[in-house]
Every structure is written in C-alpha cells, then in structure tokens.
Amino acid sequence: MIKKTPFYPRLAELNDSGLWVHWAGYLAAPQYDLSAKHEYFGVRNSAGFFDTSPLHKYWIRGRDAELFCSYVFARDIRTCRPGRAQYTIWCDNDGFVMEDGVIFRYSSDEFLLTAAEPNLGYLTDMARRFDVEVVDASEDYASLAIQGPRSRAILEQLTDDIAGLRYFDFVQTKIADAPVTLSRTGFSGDLGYELIIPADDALRVLDALIAAGKPHGLRPYGDTALGMTRIEAGLPLIGAEFTSSRYSFVAEDKFTPTELGLGWLLKGIDDDSRPFVGRQAILRELSEGSSRWTTVGITVSWRDYYDLFTSNGLMAVPDETPVAWESMIYNANGKRIGYATSFMYSPVLQKHIGIARVKPKYADPGTVVYVEQTVTHEYINVAAEVTTLPFYNPERKTAM
C-alpha cells in the first residue's frame, strides 16, 4: 500500500500537474507546476519548499552513542558538538561507500540520523556490541526543506531562534506552537533550512510557512527541480552518482569515498583511536594511490552544443531536465575514459553541465574530454572541459 506523507493533503491541493511518483513507499511529486523550470527559478530567485518526509529517520541513543557513531560512520562524529549536524557516509569492510546521510547531535549521547535508504537492520546489527539503542522514528516525524535566497526572511517571521544559525547548525524551537528542529541544511546548494516536525503537527506548520512565504513567492517544488539544483551544487545522489555497495554485484558498481569526491570527509583518518568500518581498506587505497576514478565536473559551451545540432540540420533545444542515464566520456583518441552520472542544461549558468567520473589522469581542471550525445539517431561526441565542483556556490549559502 502506497503511503502519504503528513503534508499530502495540502500538497495535493497545490499539485497542478497531477503527477506523482513513489519514494520509499510514499507518494512524492516530480513537479507541481506544469513546468519544473518555474519551480527551479522559484528556488534560485526566491524560495521553495520540498517534502523530505520519506527520508528514513533513526534515533541513536545511549552511553556508547558517540563511540558507536565513531565506529559506523566514516566522518569523525567526535568533532560535532551538540547543536550541530554533519553530512556523513558509512562504508563496508572493503572501504566502499554503502550510503550517506545527515546526522544531528542533540546531546552527548543522543543523535538523529536521516538517510534516503532503510538502514534499521544494519544499524541494529552493528549496535549489538555497544550500549546503545537504535529506534526507527521514520513515521513519527514529517520533514520539510525550505531553500532559496528568501528562506531566512520567511522563517524569521515564524521563529526568533533562526538568528545566528550558522551553516549546519540546528536548534529546537517552535513554529505555530509546534515543536520543531530547525537546521541550516539542504540539498540545493543555496541558502536553505530544513524542519523536522512531529507528524501530527505537520500541516499546522506547513500552513504557517505558506502564509509567511506568500509575499515572497514561496512555492512547492518537486523531484525534477531538486535534481537541477543539486547537480549545480555538485551534490551526489544515491542511485545516480553511486550505488550502495550492499546491493552491488560487481566491483564496477562499488566506489570509495575518494573516488566519489568525498575524501574531505576522511579528515583525521590517520588517528588510530577511531578504527571505523572500512578504515584499513581506505588507508591502503590512499597509500597505494589505487583509486580507479576521480569525480569531477564537466561543462559544454553553448556554442559547441548548438553546433552539434545545427551542423546536422537541426535546431538545438537545451533541456534542463537531468537525463536519466549515463553519458559516456572519451578522450581525443576516442577511448572511453569515464562517464557522466548526471547531465543537464543549467538555466542559471546557461550551458550544459555534468557530474562525471573519469580516470584520474584526465581529472585536471581544463582537460578537454568528449561527451557522447544522440543526434539524428547517432552517437556524436561534443567537446567538454573538466572543472571543479560545485558549479553553483553563492556566498549566501554559508554567510551569516
């Protein structure tokens, strides 16, 4: 049976497209407007809200909670003080990434993990050797992202506790008399916040948010606009940039943190006091320089893209909808050297961009590579330039 999130009654009223897809057993909207680009510009120019309630949510509590998190997660949770959140990953014993998520530290011995995939069985099994309990709270809470340059101005009307909230800080506050965890986090690469709300209070909070956001042009946005913003931000998505090593049959579908561009999460890996799962394998990879891939950004100039079509008697129609398949990448000699995991036309940058996986020797910024496109039923390559990620990173995202 397909479930509906606590926000569904209001979101169904706002869904002019009438489109729904399934996310973790829930109905989710790919877009509310007849054009997802309208929603995208709503986020980039004003603010939008996205229903993240299908995310799985797990309380991790007990005397050994910090020790447990230090062992399971690759990022050092000991550096995260109460009132802070952390983007993190967890790996298997061979150092391949299983999944990613955000963990909120409420106190010395209480954490809340949010993740896109179910992890209760894995976490419970890992917890057996620790004095800790893992509680699935996924249906106890609704969650909502409010993203865009006017998100702060909107939320300031609802709570004074937003003042001074730094990037990845969170605070327990009240909105519309409901208890809410408000965090300065998100998946848009812009200024943004997220709310975790008791399920019974969800509609009351959403109605207050919609009322406060009306003068600012606040609107809902769906999966398509989310995909556009997160690609511009260079943010990896499970199922696109990587597959969980738990469900991968072959080594080609498994990736290490370094190969995914997430090596920055491994700060302090040389500290022997924290032997997290997969550490030894990752240390070997770093020592031997055995990474198979490097994650980079690629850009295609608008002129080269247009010439690809006009030279074949066609009119180029750039499509901002992220493609749902991998685009092969070649070197100048026609040898395949990687592939783009996400590719789209960026409305704000006005050129095609992609998150790509290439052989390390082709990863230097400025390297020219060639991306496979389909024109007149043939595969034709267009020149692209390797660049660093993210593509879009406004100062307001982290500025006070």
207: Cβ–Cβ under 8 A, 6 or more apart, which residues?
10, 176
- The sign of the dihedral angle between the CA atoms of 201, 206, 211, 215 is positive
Answer yes or no: do 201 and 315 share one domain: no
The string of pLDDT tens digits covering residues 304-355 is: 999 999 999 999 999 999 998 999 999 999 999 999 999 999 999 999 999 9
Q: What CATH number does residue 353 fall under? A: 2.40.30.110
Integer Cα distance of 170 and 182 in angstroms: 5
Integer Cα distance of 155 and 161 in angstroms: 9
Q: What CATH number does residue 44 fall under? A: 3.30.1360.120
In a domain, 76, yes or no: no
The Cα-based distances of 33 to 15, 37, 145 in angstroms read 7, 9, 18
Answer yes or no: do 189 and 48 share one domain: yes
Where does a domain end: 221, 256, 286?
Answer: 221
- Overall number of domains in the chain: 2
Whether the predicted pLDDT of 274 surpasses 90: yes
Give the domain range for residue 211: 8-55+139-221
Whether the predicted pLDDT of 249 surpasses 90: yes
pLDDT above 90 as % of the chain: 99
Whether the predicted pLDDT of 400 surpasses 90: no
Answer yes or no: do 191 and 45 share one domain: yes
Whether the predicted pLDDT of 19 surpasses 90: yes
Asked if the bond preceding 318 is cis, omega within 30° of 0, the reply is no
Integer Cα distance of 257 and 131 in angstroms: 28
For residue 350, count CB atoms less than 10 angstroms from its CB and return exposed for 0-12, middle for 13-18, buried for 19 or more: exposed
Where does a domain end: 179, 197, 221?
Answer: 221
Whether the predicted pLDDT of 149 surpasses 90: yes
**Global confidence as pTM:** 0.97
Answer yes or no: do 150 and 40 share one domain: yes
